[in-house]
Amino acid sequence: MTDDFMTGQGDDSRVTLRPMTAHDEEEFIELVRASAELHHPWMSLPATPEEFQTYLGRYDDPLTAEGLLVCVRDTGAIAGVVFVNSIIRGRFQSASLGYAAFAPSAGRGYMSEGLGLVLRHAFEDLRLHRLEAQIQPGNHASLKLVQRLGFRYEGCSPELLFIDGAWRDHERWVITTSMIDGFAGDPHPTLPVH
């Protein structure tokens, strides 16, 4: 696909990343509807054209957030979505992550590979230092995913996010550049020197 901006390393990579655009509306909504049971009660994604356009507007400014699609390399099909939200610069150099697999391709490891690419993008291209995923304690698949990628548990925040009609408790899982072997990226220019 010509608009992919990142692929996995080596010939065995099965996924690519690309920004979510208005052209993805129909496929995205179809996948959200097909994945309603998989996502409930963990997350709610846009399921109508109006909701999709509003959601897409959250990612108009790449300085504060990015919506990225994990696509199957061989077919271009969307396997999942990852959101890099609330990018904060200065002394923090941090962002929060949201992500979801789509039912037709769930359980095949695509999100593990895709989220690995997002980590590389966030640390190398965006030059962030820290990424945090907030996960409901009962979402075992999501917890296993971040554990597999090397995130560390930092605690539980009661009533952190409003999901499925209620304020939900979330565990906070974090990964920083210092937790990745061999990472030698340059700091972002907004990081103060003292």
The pLDDT tens digits of the residues spanning 110-124 come to 999 999 999 999 999
Would you put residue 3 in left (φ > 0), alpha (ψ -120 to 50) or beta?
alpha
Q: What are the CA-CA distances from residue 91 to residues 87, 106, 187 (Å)?
A: 12, 37, 11
State the Cα–Cα distance between residues 70 and 109, nearest whole angstrom: 11
Chain segment 161-173, per-residue pLDDT in tens:
999 889 999 999 9
What does the pLDDT read at residue 1?
33
Mean pLDDT of the chain: 91
**pLDDT band for position 7 (cuts 50, 70, 90):** low
pTM for the structure as a whole:
0.90
Contact (Cβ atoms closer than 8 angstroms) between residue 108 and residue 141 = no
**pLDDT band for position 4 (cuts 50, 70, 90):** low
Q: What are the CA-CA distances from residue 50 to residues 26, 53, 167, 177 (Å)?
A: 12, 5, 25, 37
Comparison of pLDDT for 185 and 7, the residue scoring more:
185
Q: Name the token pair of 10.
A: 């080596």
Q: Name the token pair of 17.
A: 């990343």
Residue 8 pLDDT exceeds 60: no
Residue for token pair 């390393």: 9
Q: How big, in percent rounded to 5, are the helix, strand and coil portions of the chain? A: 30, 30, 40
Chain segment 129-168, per-residue pLDDT in tens:
999 999 999 999 999 999 999 999 999 999 999 998 899 9
State the Cα–Cα distance between residues 35 and 174, nearest whole angstrom: 26
Q: Write phi, then psi, for 189 (nearest 5 degrees).
A: -60, -15
Residue 6 pLDDT exceeds 70: no
